[in-house]
Structure 1
Amino acid sequence: MGFLIFLLNFTLKAVNLYSMLLVAYALLSWFPNAYNTVIGRFLVRICEPYLNLFRRLPLQFFGLDFSVIVGILVLELGSNLIVRIANHLLIGMMY
């Protein structure tokens, strides 16, 4: 049971960290040539593969790309689902 709790905490922290990286990636779009810096290239390598999943959808309106917001929303919904499943597993193990 301890390993399951450890795995749950690790997963939630990883999702939280990745969400912060996505926010940083989005903020870089406000600064010219920010994607050409070391941090910018790192964030592009980390975030682009995930965001490309959502860029196939019609999420661009009036020149704004809402892929990052949808990506973060999907991460949060996924982490909530993981927490609910883990709660059911842990409660089932207690009884």
Structure 2
Amino acid sequence: MNEVFNIIDLLYQIYFYMILIYVLMSWVPAVKDSFVGELLGKIVEPYLSIFRRFIPPIGGILDISPIIALIALQFLVSGLKTVLDVFI
């Protein structure tokens, strides 16, 4: 059981940092257009696009959807661990 939680935590941390790096890369267009930027975009953008549909940028320029997406991801991981703890 502990191994499953460790794997879930590791996957969460990896995806968290992928989102964080992708958001930081958006400040430097040359980096975002690189191979790594495009790869991260293909992995992260489908998840972020869910939140971007419902959360408009503040003032037209400040996109807070990644923050909400990371909070939702944390709730998802916590819920998954709770469900697994009850049933396993």
Q: Is the pair's TM-score, using the shorter chain for normalization, greater than 0.5?
A: yes
2-structure distance, mates of 1:47, 1:34: 16
1:27 — aligned with what? Answer: 24
Q: Residue deviations 1:47-67, cap 9 Å, x none?
A: 111111111112410211111
How high is the sequence identity, in percent, across the aligned residues? Answer: 25
1:77 — aligned with what? Answer: 75
The structure in which a higher percent of residues are strand is 1
Give TM-score, length-normalised by structure 1.
0.80
**What SS is found at the alignment partner of 2:54?**
coil
Which of 57, 60, 65 aligns to 1:60? It is 57
1-structure distance, mates of 2:24, 2:77: 23
Give TM-score, length-normalised by structure 2.
0.85
**What SS is found at the alignment partner of 1:12?**
helix
- Poorly superposed stretches of 4+, deviation over 6 Å: none
By how many angstroms is 1:82 displaced?
1.9
C-alpha contact 2:55 2:65 (8 A) present in aligned 1: no
Unaligned runs of 5+ in 1: 91-95
Determine which structure has greater relative contact order: mean sequence separation of CA pairs < 8 Å that are 6+ residues apart, divided by chain length: 1
1:47 — aligned with what? Answer: 44
What is the root-mean-square deviation of aligned Cα atoms in Å? Answer: 1.6
1:36 — aligned with what? Answer: 33
Q: Larger Cα Rg: Structure 1 or Structure 2? A: 1
